[in-house]
Amino acid sequence: MSSAATTVAQSAQRSAPGPATRAEAENLADTGSAAALPADYSDYKLVPARHPWRWVGTVVVALGIAAVAWSLATNPRWEWGVVAQWFTAQSVVTGLVETLKLTAISGALGFILGFILALMRLSASPLLVSVSWTFSWIFRSTPLLVQVLLWYNLGYLYEKVSLGIPFTDVRFFEAQTTTLISQFAAAVLGLTLNQAAYSAEIIRGGILSVDQGQLEAAAALGIPAWRRSTRIILPQAMRAILPTAFNEIIGLVKGTSIVYVLAYSELFYTVQVIYNRTQQVLPLLLVATLWYVVITSVLSVLQYYIERHFSKGAVRNLPLTPLQKVRRFLSTHAATNVRSPR
């Protein structure tokens, strides 16, 4: 011990002579003797690291949220009374139903068509591949607004729509385009085709994300092609498809508001009609917004559980549901509080 101290003292003398040297030497001697003792920590309690900045951040954000909530509640210009009055009004609810109808129909048709387009794009036939590619190219590169207006005005371009044998006079069916394409039909056509172009790419991406070995294994077992797609590939592709697909559907819920240009009385057009009459613009926009928030929230919850369903086997243990998380949070924190007094 003394020899170590002296060497340190000697080397330290060259740089900083005086009291510092002695302190350093003592310090070294201290740690030296402590290390010599046999250490047994088996009775010690483990204390997790503290994160003070996490708490600071939490407080700042909480204050921000409180401020926004306070201003929403106390600023009379939000006119919450008017919002409440119109929120469940008959006309608004009717508009809401129309919005849900448009979303459901064009969402479902869009994804079915998108699935077919994705399969075409992945097929070995160059014609199918290029048709699918061109479809996506056209409908992704034109504004939805233009598409919807174009479908509605199809009667201007083609007066009659008929079904028959080409290059002959045989007609099975013939109708005026304007009677055939109502506001609803134009809206569904526009939204569906646009949605199909986007969902085709989403579904194709999902299918590509599944390992080629899965197809090989299924083929080696003699599993028929359709079953291979639906039972083996799609359930695995769903994990990649779902998050983006729900993005699309949530986008579609609000995207339906674009058909107000056809004077189609869905939610957004309905509140416009009302505020043009009552001049309560902001509260009525708020009514529509709140309904969109409600729909999106329901869809988000649905998304969580559907994703959880398809993550079976992809993760070792399924992620906890929010309810299970709350329970676990409570039980672990209760446990630490009980243990800490000791």
Q: Which residues bind another protein (CB under 8 A)?
A: 211, 213-214, 216-225, 227, 231-232, 235-236, 310, 312-316
Q: How many CB atoms lie within 10 A of CB 93?
A: 14
Beta-bridge partner residues of 161: 175
Tell the smallest beta-carbon distance from residue 231 to another protein (Å): 7
The total number of residues shown for the chain amounts to: 342
Q: How many CB atoms lie within 10 A of CB 160?
A: 12
Helix (H) or strand (E) holding 175: strand 171-176
Nearer to another protein, 174 or 211 (CB): 211
Tell the smallest beta-carbon distance from residue 307 to another protein (Å): 13
What's the CA gap between 276 and 94, in Å, rounded? 18
Q: To the nearest 10°, the Cα dihedral for 274, 278, 281, 284?
A: -50
Tell the smallest beta-carbon distance from residue 119 to another protein (Å): 15
Helix (H) or strand (E) holding 271: helix 267-278
What's the CA gap between 162 and 127, in Å, rounded? 26
Nearer to another protein, 113 or 237 (CB): 237
Nearer to another protein, 148 or 245 (CB): 245
Tell the smallest beta-carbon distance from residue 220 to another protein (Å): 4
Contact 211, 125 (CB under 8 A): no
Nearer to another protein, 214 or 289 (CB): 214
Tell the smallest beta-carbon distance from residue 28 to another protein (Å): 46
Which residue reads 């080696």 in tokens? 220
Nearer to another protein, 78 or 310 (CB): 310
Nearer to another protein, 145 or 219 (CB): 219
Tell the smallest beta-carbon distance from residue 125 to another protein (Å): 15
